[in-house]
Each structure stands twice: as structure tokens, then as C-alpha cells.
Amino acid sequence: MQHTIKPESQGALTAPMAEAVTKCVHCGFCLPACPTYQELGSESDSPRGRIVIMKEVLEGTLTVADAAPHVDACLGCLACEPACPSGVPYRDLISAYRAKTNPERKRSLTEKLKRTVISNTIPYPSRFQTGARLGRLAKPLAGVMPKAFQPMLGLLPDEPLPPMVVYPPQVSADAGVEPQGRVALLLGCAQQALDPDINDATIEVLTRNGFEVVIPETQGCCGALSWHVGELEDAQKFAINNLGAFPAEVDAVITNAAGCGSGIHEYPLILKGTTAEPAAQAMAERTCDISVQLMRLEKLAPIPALDRPLRIAYHDACHLANAQGVRQPPRDLLRAIPGVEIVEIPDGGTCCGSAGTYNIDQPEIAAALGQKKANLVRELAPDLIVSGNIGCLTQLRTHLSQDGGPNLPVRHTVQALRDAYIGVLGK
């Protein structure tokens, strides 16, 4: 079905925003959970403060420009949601507010240029990889680059980027394994360029466990990066493309990047008021993280025991834990590897500062959070750090390599599992 997006679909975001604002009783229980409140210590940079600020803008008593510094400083980590006893759906407010006020935002030329570079590279894996390769060459010159571009260069890996992988449209389940169904895989854009091995590992683990994996050729960016910075039209365009690309005849759409998974779960809001809303709802319901799909199995394919015990520090990606409520399945999956012990990072799952393009847009706060996380992880002295989101993995690697301490390995959950299957985990 051809979906039509009318310009007035933006108006459909008003009701969810109003509901979020109305539900807040200003109790303040969310304040201690908010990383920016912890960092900046001001009410205006807390969830409660931001809800009031956004309400005032929507009611016309505060300007978009006055609200901007506080709204921009929000990570979108959604740690405020599980902390809220009134069930305020903050997610329905923050991105919708950004989309609604984006046309009124005044930005400097450098800021506009940076946003153009980001929106024309990261969502397109080959362009992103070319850009990242050029960026690596420019890294030694970062000091003389415009300040707005320096954080982008700082996040690029020092090692050469791996080649992109082209996958066949489908991969069969391993022969001799009991069939468990047919799933479709979203490849993720930054992930395909920065660490394609995560998708290799996902396909290997799924097929070993009896799943046939469909990899739609026309899939694209999930749209989350655009949606979280208020680019509604782009987000809708990406969502519509994926609604057409992913077949309905699969048991699940699998995501292995927390940001992409949460992005697809937001399709009903992104496409609210359009003819695509029911299809968006159906796709969101079919979509789940790789760890969730694997833990639905009665029994995982047998995993060989490790040669030695392995302590894994598991970092909750906000867009997995807070946005999708997925905390236990990745831990259960890792514990299923005989010899693995999970050690918890003692900060209640606070954001590492990655948060989509936040570490590019708000580098100071992002760096403070990244460094805090790296310090806490180091104190645990794990053998391995594991998380379920390419953004978090990049942020953790960047900050763990900055303080001169031992360079701890950082892997995706599904890479750890695949490595255990092939007998190389911890070697």
C-alpha cells in the first residue's frame, strides 16, 4: 500500500504531548534518575523542569529559543520513565516537541552545516563509511577544525574500518537443527559501517538456533536519529521505507542496536495521523531485540563451556533498558554461557552519554558521562564489557582508551555469544 504523509500529520502529535504534560504531578521522583540533573544540578535540566518548560512553550508563554538549551541537553535516555510513579510517557513529549518546534529553531551556520553532514551521512552506511574513512585521515588535524566537528572526529576509531558486508536476501537455518521460525533482520546504519561483525554474529547465532533469517534488500535507516533531533519528515520517510521493505510474513523483526529497536517501536508516534499508522503499529509489535527472541526459545543450542571463568560487566543501553524494557534477556543470554559471571556496574544503568548523536551535539556532558562510566567499569576489573548498542560500544571504547588504563575489550552481547559458540570467547 502506498502511504501518504500530509503536512498536517505534525498536528497529530499534540494529543500525546498534552497527555504527557497533564500526567506529571511534579513530585520530583524522577530527578535523581536523570543524568543531566546529576551533572548540571539545575531544575531546568531535570525531567520535571523540562516538562514545565515544554508546556510553557506549547502554551505560548516561553519562547522556543529560551527553552532550547534545556531541551537540547536532554539525552532522551528515558531514565525518567521507570522512575516516575505516575507513568508520565516522557518519550511521547520530548521527540514530538522537538519535531513541532524544529521549524522555529534558529541555528548558527556551523550548527546547520553539522546537522546537514550528520543527516546526509550516518543514515546511509556507504556514505557514512566513506565519510568516516576521510574523517580518520583528518583526525590529526582535529585541533584546527571548527569546534562543532571535533567531537565527531574524536569518536572515529583509530584502526581502519572493516569492509562493508553485502548479505544475501535470506540465510537458512543450520541443517539438522530443529526449525524455530523465520525472522527478518534490521542491519542498522552506523553499525554496518563501524562494526559489521555484529550483524555476522547475529545471523550466525540465529541460524545456529534454528531461525531462517530474511535480510530485506531495500531496508534503510530506522529513522531514530532524525526523530530524536526533531526531523519529522526524514523520520517518516525512513519509517515508510521500512514498512514497505520488511515482510509481514515473519515471526519477528530482529534488531541488534538498541537505538534502532526503540526507533521502530516509536513508528506509531512518528506516523501518527497518517494512513501508515496501523502498519507502523503492526511492525512495532513484531519487532524485538535479538536477546528477547533468543530467550523466547525453550532451549538455546548447546554452548560449549569456557576454558576459564569470565567476568562480564554488562552495560544497559538506555534504548534497550528504558525504552524497550529489556534488561533481563541479555543478562540471561550471557549467563547461559557456561563459565560466565555477570558483574553489575554500580550506577543503576545511568546513560554512558552516547544517546544517538548526543555525544556530537553536547560533547561536554557526553564526555563527563562517558568518563564516569569508564571509571566505574575499570573499578570492577572485568574481563570483558558487553552492551547491546553500537553507540554505547563506541562511547565505551572511546572513554576506556582515554585514561591510560588497560584497554578492556568491549563487545556486543551477540558477539560474545557467537564467540562462545565458536570457542574463542575470552581468548
Considering the complex, what minimum distance in angstroms separates the CB of residue 68 from ligand SF4? Answer: 14
Backbone angles phi, psi at 23, to 5 degrees: -70, -25
Q: Map the footprint of ligand SF4 across residues 392-421, applying CB under 6 A.
A: none
Q: How far apart are CA 182 and CA 197, in angstroms?
A: 21
Q: Map the footprint of ligand SF4 across residues 24-83, applying CB under 6 A.
A: 24-30, 33-36, 47-48, 50-51, 74-80
Considering the complex, what minimum distance in angstroms separates the CB of residue 355 from ligand SF4? Answer: 8
- Residue 95 or 255 with smaller CB distance to ligand SF4: 95
Considering the complex, what minimum distance in angstroms separates the CB of residue 366 from ligand SF4? Answer: 11
Considering the complex, what minimum distance in angstroms separates the CB of residue 23 from ligand SF4? Answer: 7
Considering the complex, what minimum distance in angstroms separates the CB of residue 26 from ligand SF4? Answer: 5
Cα-to-chain-centroid distance, residue 199: 15
- Residue 70 or 208 with smaller CB distance to ligand SF4: 70
Out of 4, 42, 86, 172, name the contact with ligand SF4 by CB under 6 A.
86
- Residue 246 or 358 with smaller CB distance to ligand SF4: 358
- Residue 80 or 99 with smaller CB distance to ligand SF4: 80
- Residue 81 or 204 with smaller CB distance to ligand SF4: 81
Q: Is 373 in the site for ligand SF4 (CB under 6 A)?
A: no
- Residue 201 or 235 with smaller CB distance to ligand SF4: 235
- Residue 55 or 115 with smaller CB distance to ligand SF4: 55
Out of 88, 161, 264, 392, name the contact with ligand SF4 by CB under 6 A.
88
- Residue 26 or 308 with smaller CB distance to ligand SF4: 26
Q: How far apart are CA 257 and CA 253, in angstroms?
A: 12
Considering the complex, what minimum distance in angstroms separates the CB of residue 246 from ligand SF4? Answer: 28
Going by C-alpha positions, the residue among 350, 13, 411, 427 that lies closest to residue 200 is: 411
Binding residues for ligand SF4, rule CB under 6 A, total 26
Considering the complex, what minimum distance in angstroms separates the CB of residue 237 from ligand SF4? Answer: 25
Considering the complex, what minimum distance in angstroms separates the CB of residue 85 from ligand SF4? Answer: 6
Residue with cell 555469544: 417
- Residue 83 or 142 with smaller CB distance to ligand SF4: 83
Q: Which part of the chain contacts ligand SF4 (CB under 6 A), choosing from 23-31, 129-137, 168-176, 294-302?
A: 23-31
- Residue 70 or 411 with smaller CB distance to ligand SF4: 70
Three-class HEC string of the chain: CCCCCCHHHHHHHHHHHHHHHHHCCCCCCCHHHCHHHHHHCCHHHCHHHHHHHHHHHHHCCCCHHHHHHHHHCCCCCCCHHHHCCCCCCHHHHHHHHHHHHHHHCCCCHHHHHHHHHHHHHCCCHHHHHHHHHHHHHHHHHHHHCCHHHHHHHHHCCCCCCCCCCCCCCEECCCCCCCCCEEEEECCCHHHHHHCCHHHHHHHHHHHHCCEEEECCCCCCCCCHHHHHCCCHHHHHHHHHHHHHHCCCCCCEEEECCHHHHHHHHCHHHHCCCCCCHHHHHHHHHHEEEHHHHHHCCCCCCCCCCCCCCEEEEEECCHHHHHHHCCCHHHHHHHHCCCCEEEEECCCCCCCCCCCCCHHHHCHHHHHHHHHHHHHHHHHHCCCEEEECCHHHHHHHHHHHCCCCCCCCCEEEHHHHHHHHHCCCCCC
End-to-end CA distance of the chain: 50
Considering the complex, what minimum distance in angstroms separates the CB of residue 225 from ligand SF4? Answer: 16
Considering the complex, what minimum distance in angstroms separates the CB of residue 363 from ligand SF4? Answer: 16
Q: Map the footprint of ligand SF4 across residues 234-253, applying CB under 6 A.
A: none
Q: Map the footprint of ligand SF4 across residues 90-119, applying CB under 6 A.
A: 90
Q: State the cell numbers at 223.
A: 529513522
- Residue 55 or 397 with smaller CB distance to ligand SF4: 55
Considering the complex, what minimum distance in angstroms separates the CB of residue 92 from ligand SF4? Answer: 12
Interface with ligand SF4 (CB under 6 A): 24-30, 33-36, 47-48, 50-51, 74-80, 84, 86, 88, 90
